[in-house]
Amino acid sequence: MSEFDLIQRFFTRPAPHAILGVGDDAALLQVAEGMELAVSTDMLVSGTHFLPDGDPFLLGHKTLAVNLSDLAAMGAAPRWATLALSLPQADEQWLQRFSEGFFALADKYGVELVGGDTTRGPLNLSVTIMGEVPRGKALRRSGAHVGDDIWVSGTLGEAALGLAHLQGRIALPDDARAFCLSALHQPQPRIALGLALRGIAHSAIDISDGLLADLGHILDCSNVAAELRYDRLPKPSLSSVGGNGLAELAQRCVLSGGDDYELCFTAPVSRRAEIETLATRLNQPLSRVGSIVSGHGCKVRAEDGSVMKLKESGYDHFA
C-alpha cells in the first residue's frame, strides 16, 4: 500500500465545515464571526504514553481524546483536527481499527480531520486540534482569584491505578480493574462541561499529569495558592481492597496520577449552586475540593485539619 493509498483509504473523510480538507498542500478553514480559534497539539509516543501492543481502536480513541480534553479545558467547541502519524509499517488491520477508534470519537464531537502527515518510523501519534470559542471567553489558567472554590470533575487516580495494574505493580480486583482500565484506555473528554463553564469558571485546566501538578499550573499562572481537602477529593472506590500497599498507592494516584483527563477549575463561591445544578444537568459528577488562597504553593489537609506530607507532585517527562 502506498502512502497515498493509506491516506485515501483510512484518513480521508468529508469535511463539510472546512473550505478544503485532506488532499491539497494545506487545509483551508474559516472561523465563524465573533469566534477565536483555539489550537493545541498533543503527541502520544509508543512506550512513553502507551504500550506498543495495545488495542489500536482504543489508541485511536485516546489519541483524539487527550487533544479534545485540552479544548474542553479552554471552553472551546471542537471543530477540526490534523493527524501526524509515524508508523513502523503499513499494517492494514491496525490502521483500520485505529482509524475506527479515532473517527468514532471524532463523529461524537463533530471533529473533522482536515490534514496531517504520514511517515515511516517509530510509532508516534500526534494530533493538532482546533476549536472555536467566543471572543474573550476562553477559560485560561491565569484567571484564578483568592477566595475561589476549586472543583474537579469525575474521579481521580483510576487511570494511574489501571497502568500500575498493567505493569504488574499491583493486582486490582475485577470490578476496579474494569473501571480503572477503562479510565486509562478510554478517557472521556469533558467537552460539555468546558462549554457550560464559560462565563462561570475563573480558570480551568485538564488533569493530564496529576491534580497537584496541573492545579500547580493554575496557581503559578494566577499567582495564588491553594488549600485542598483530601477527604473531599473524588477517589476510586476500592473498598474491597485492603493492605498490600494499595491504599498508599491509591492516595498517590489520586493526588499525582497521570492520564485522568478530568477538568480542574476555579469559580467564585457565588456560583456554587449554579455549578451543582450543572453537574445534575450534564450528569457529570463535580466535587468542590478546596479553595484558592493568597501566597504560594498547594497544601493538602487531612480530615482532622492537619497538613499532609506529600512525596511527589506529578508526572514530568524530564524530571
| Chain contacts with ligand ADP (rule: CB under 6 A) | 7, 11, 22-25, 83, 85, 113, 115-118
Supply the minimum distance, in Å, between the C-beta of residue 11 and Mg ion.
Answer: 12
CB 21 within 8 A of CB 30: no
Residue closer to ligand ADP by CB (options 92, 274) is 92
Supply the minimum distance, in Å, between the C-beta of residue 84 and ligand ADP.
Answer: 7
Residue closer to Mg ion by CB (options 114, 183) is 114
Q: Which of residues 38-97 bind Mg ion (CB under 5 A)?
A: none
Pick what 144 binds: Mg ion, ligand ADP, none; C-beta below 5 to 8 Å, kind-dependent.
none
Supply the minimum distance, in Å, between the C-beta of residue 61 and Mg ion.
Answer: 25
Calpha distance 220→298 (Å, rounded): 10
Pick what 7 binds: ligand ADP, Mg ion, none; C-beta below 5 to 8 Å, kind-dependent.
ligand ADP
Q: How far is CA 112 from the centre of its chain?
A: 19
Length of the chain: 319
Residue closer to Mg ion by CB (options 7, 211) is 7
Calpha distance 159→187 (Å, rounded): 8
Residue closer to ligand ADP by CB (options 24, 53) is 24
Residue closer to ligand ADP by CB (options 22, 289) is 22
Supply the minimum distance, in Å, between the C-beta of residue 25 and Mg ion.
Answer: 8
Give the residue, chosen from 3, 107, 117, 175, that forms a contact with Mg ion under the rule CB under 5 A. 117
Q: How far is CA 214 from the centre of its chain?
A: 11
Supply the minimum distance, in Å, between the C-beta of residue 47 and ligand ADP.
Answer: 21
Joined grid coordinates for residue 311: 512525596
Q: What distances in angstroms separate CA 210 from CA 10, 44, 47, 108, 154, one per listed residue?
A: 34, 17, 19, 26, 13
Q: How far is CA 151 from the centre of its chain?
A: 15
Alpha-helical runs (H) found in the chain = 3-11, 56-74, 92-109, 158-166, 174-185, 191-196, 211-222, 246-256, 272-282
Assess 3 for contact with Mg ion (CB under 5 A).
no
Contact set with Mg ion (CB under 5 A): 117
